[in-house]
Amino acid sequence: MDAPAILAALRSGTINVLLADVEHHEDIGRDLDTLRQVHHSCPHLPMVLLVNSYDDDFVPRAFRAGIRGLFCFATADFRLLCKCLRCVHDGQVWANSDQLGMLLRSIVHTPGLRVPTAIGHQILSPREHQVVALVANGLSNRQIAAELQLSENTIKKYLFRIFDKLGMSSRVELALYAVAAAPTQAVQLSTL
């Protein structure tokens, strides 16, 4: 894969979903770097990555590269690939339970993220950063409420505001965003 060639192809027409096929080999890091470059150039273009196999290290790296769907032909058939493409095109994230487990394990110790505006102001309040960090650590609303000594209803309100501010609609999407954003953040949040 070559990022300039992919970007040139993207400029030549309307692309709804980028479908990339990679072999799991020792140079997979180079392929993921290419996808990351494409993602940074076209952040709103949904990408699905086709693989024959994956492991605990590969899955988080693939989502950090900006993909929105990870599809493994070894465990699913072509009809499911069509559903994957439709879901990703509609703004959803596609990952099977095994892959989600790998993602969640990778973020257990991931600190929260800072989301600045173009002029450097923070979009999320300090309390909202705490909630994001705890969601990224896999805590339920009830556990977050206990940790922050707030009501569960208050945590739900924080999550709705966070989703609204970041343009998200689910905890999984928030956790994936935190995983993707955390390595690039200059300032990291640690929970109190």
- Enter the tokens of residue 8: 């040139």
Instruction: Give the chain's domains with CATH numbers.
Output: 3-105 (3.40.50.2300), 108-192 (1.10.10.10)
Residue 121 is predicted with a pLDDT of 64
Please name the residues in contact with 37: beta carbons below 8 A apart, sequence gap of 6 or more: 3, 7
- Among candidate residues 59, 41, 43, the one with its CA nearest the CA of residue 51: 59
Please name the residues in contact with 162: beta carbons below 8 A apart, sequence gap of 6 or more: 124, 128, 131, 132, 168, 174
Residue 90 is predicted with a pLDDT of 95
Partner residues linked to 65 by β-bridges? none
Rounded distance between C-alpha atoms, residue 135 and residue 118, angstroms: 25
Residue 108 is predicted with a pLDDT of 63
Which portions of the chain are predicted below pLDDT 70? Answer: 1, 23-27, 107-121, 179-192
Residue 80 is predicted with a pLDDT of 93
